[in-house]
Amino acid sequence: MKASGTTIEERRTKNGNIRSYRVKFFEHGKRKSATFRTRTDAESFAQSILTARTIPSNIDISAMGIIRQIQFQELCAKLGIEVEKAYDEVCDILIKKYIHTAERNVSLGEAVKEFLKARKKSNCRDSTMNEYIHYLGWLENSFADTYPIGSITEKKLRVLINSKDKISVQEHFLMRLKTFFRYLVREGFLTINPTVNISIEKVKKDETPPEILSVEEVEKIFKNLPQKPSVLASFALLAFAGIRPEEICPKNSKSRLAWENVDFSRREITIPGATSKIRKLRVISGDIGNIWKFLELTPEPQRKGPICNFSYSTMRRIRRKIMGKATQDILRHCFGSYGYHYLDPRVVVEIMGHVRGFKTFEKFYKGIANEAEARKYFSIEPNKKTPLS
């Protein structure tokens, strides 16, 4: 048998009897050989070499490595141990023996504590901090606080991530783990990042534009909302200025849009970087349809502090009661869709603060509504009986 420079020779005794089979092969430019008792074993090994050479070049499998693999499997069979389980045990032993001292001494609990401290110093959003605490809590519950971070392998992380049913949960979990382990490598707690080669296969879905409400549905919402200036102003900013819900009434202690950010004389609303989701100041200017009529419901002496003066839970309760199961961004989507026909699209992109500019706007909002409906949408006004208090 001959395959890519690999040959099998019979080795005979003085009497001419075959005593063994020698496989000659090249490895890293050098001639090497291995001896087997039967032709079947020799041919199997030669075929293994041929198979190994078809594997991508960035995965180096040596011929001697194949021999060791065979010997390892034979040993496992004699001991009655599953090969996979034996690999894990051997890897744990090697990690404990050869891994960097710092990696052996730092526990998972200590690493998480240092990471969260660093995230806090970098002015990480409270919502993002809560995600790190949540997902790293899963990691600690799986390995225990005292588990050495150097003993956490790629294989163990794959098992943990795959234990989560939803693809979206797996994606978010992996995203936070990658950030965590990159930090550990950067700060010298680890030498190898076990998440580098882990990825989640995305489920392909047909892209659809965001759902929007009809003009009649939006009119009904404002009619049924509690007729209080703060409530009406908050929902009007969502519907007619495209402001994000978390910029008006955040779930955490993040700053929210205040009356001090509204200039009635110049017809400008400024979203400060500390309030903006994208941490970038943006200004909404011009007489945009009906938004100012809703804001003017609040008497001038009362225009101090947050525009939305109620809690996140109250806002959510009002939204669910009036809008049912509609997503919290649906009024922002309405602004983008109707605004395309009512305002200059470039103005709408600037108001909405899309990081990717017109690409996002064109992809999701263009062409959903029409010009006639857009004029009706931006003509929705407050109930004349709404009290100015």
Q: State the amino acid at position 388 in one-letter form.
A: L
> What are the pLDDT digits (tens) for 362-389?
666 666 788 899 899 999 999 876 665 5
- Interatomic CA distance for residues 70 and 238, integer angstroms: 66
Phi-psi region of 28 (alpha: psi -120 to 50; beta: other; left: phi over 0): left
- Interatomic CA distance for residues 208 and 61, integer angstroms: 46
Residues 6+ apart with CB under 8 A from 146: 107, 108, 109
Can you list the residues of the chain whose pLDDT is less than 70? 1-4, 28, 52-64, 94-105, 203-209, 253-254, 274-280, 286-287, 289, 353-367, 385-389
> What are the pLDDT digits (tens) for 237-275?
999 988 888 888 887 766 888 999 999 988 888 887 766
- Interatomic CA distance for residues 112 and 254, integer angstroms: 24
Indicate yes or no: pTM above 0.85: no
Which residues is 57 bridged to in the sheet?
Answer: none
Within 10 angstroms of residue 9's Cβ, the number of other Cβ atoms is 13
Cα-Cα-Cα-Cα dihedral sign, residues 315, 318, 319, 324: positive
> What are the pLDDT digits (tens) for 105-146?
688 999 999 999 998 888 777 778 888 999 999 999 999 888
- Mean of the per-residue pLDDT values for the chain? 82
Element (H, E) at 284: strand 282-285
Element (H, E) at 40: helix 39-52
